[in-house]
Amino acid sequence: MFARLVPLLGVVAAALPVARTQTLLFPNFNSTTGLQLNSVSAPSGGILTLADTGRDRGAVFTTAQYSVAQFSALFEFVIANPSGSTDSTGINGADGIAFVIQSDARGAGALGSFKEGLGYGGINNSLAIEFDTFKNDANSETANDPNSNHVGINLGGSVNSALTATIGTRLDNGQKWTAWVDYNGSVMELRMSQDGIRPSEATLSYSIDTTALAAALGGATQAYLGFSAATGSATADHQLLSFVFSDTYLANGIAAVPEPSTYALLALGLGLAGLGVWRRRG
Ligand SMILES: [Ca+2]
Ligand SMILES: [Ca+2]
C-alpha cells in the first residue's frame, strides 16, 4: 500500500504546500508521548484511568496546542463499577468524564475540581463536553444537572451547562462508548454510540462560531486538548481508551480508530492524503 501512496502524497504535497493537517493519534495509550498526566497514574494495558477511587480527580492534556478553528475528533471511553452514595434520583456512581479544549494559564498542567466539577470545573478559557452520571441539584450544588445521565456543553470552567441532552443508556454501564466531536467553524456536534458506528443524528449540536469559540478560549485560536474526570462520595472507574484528532473538519467524521497499517503513515505527519486513505479504509 505504501508504494501506491507515495505518488499520491507527492501530488498533494505539491498542490497544498501549506495545508498539512495536524493529526493526533492515540489508538491506545501504550505510549503517552506528547501528553501530560495530571494526577493520573501511568497507563495500564493501554488504558488511562482518569479517576476511580472515592474523591478522586485527574486530567490528561496534550503538551502542545492545536488549532481548533475546525476539527474532527474521536475518542473511546468506559465508565464502570458505579458505587457509593446515591443522588436525588436514587442512582449511584459518579461523576463522569469531560472532553476539554482549553487555553488555561496552567496549560497542559490544568486540573479542575472534584465531584460535580468532573476534573474540569475551574479550568478557565475553555470549552468542554461532559458525560455526566450523577445529578447535582441546582439548589445545593454548582451544577444544573437535568438528571443522572446526560451530556452537555460547558464553558469557562463552569459545569452549569450551556446545553444538555439526556442519554437513554447508562453512561456508566461498563461498556465502551465511542464519541465523535466535529466542528466545522460554526456548529459543534457530538455523536456517540456503543456499537462503534457513527450515528447520522447528532446527540448535541451547539452553535458557536470561531469568534465565539476564541472568546471562550480567552482569545486563543489554539488550545490544549484532553480529558478529565472526578469522583466524590459516589465513584466509578473512568477509563480513556483512545483519542484521534484532526484539525481538519471531516464532514462524515473520523470513521474509526485507524488500523495499525494506516496509522503508521499518519504518525509520520503525511497529512491530507493519509487521512483520505485512512477514511476509505475505516
Ligand atoms: Ca453531575
Ligand atoms: Ca451536568
Per-residue pLDDT tens digits for 179-226: 999 999 999 999 999 999 999 999 999 999 999 999 999 999 899 999
Question: Which position has the higher pLDDT, 167 or 2?
Answer: 167
Q: How far is the CA of 11 from the centre of ligand 1 (A)?
A: 50
Instruction: Give the pairing of strands 57-62 and 222-230.
Output: antiparallel
Nearest ligand to the CA of 113 is 1
- At residue 131's C-alpha, the angle toward residues 74 and 44, to 5°, is 65
Q: How far is the CA of 84 from the centre of ligand 1 (A)?
A: 14
Residue range(s) occupied by CATH 2.60.120.200 in the chain: 28-257
Mean pLDDT value across residues 23-42:
96
Architecture in CATH for domain 28-257: Sandwich (2.60)
Nearest ligand to the CA of 133 is 1
The owner of cell 437535568 is 146
* Predicted TM-score of the model (pTM): 0.87
Q: How far is the CA of 30 from the centre of ligand 2 (A)?
A: 31
Mean pLDDT value across residues 243-272:
74
Ranges assigned E (strand) in the chain: 23-26, 35-38, 48-51, 57-62, 66-67, 71-84, 96-102, 126-132, 150-155, 163-166, 177-183, 187-193, 204-207, 222-230, 234-246
Q: How far is the CA of 113 from the centre of ligand 2 (A)?
A: 14
Handedness of CA 106, 109, 112, 114 (dihedral sign): negative
The pLDDT, as a whole number, for residue 266 is 55
pLDDT at 274 over 80: no
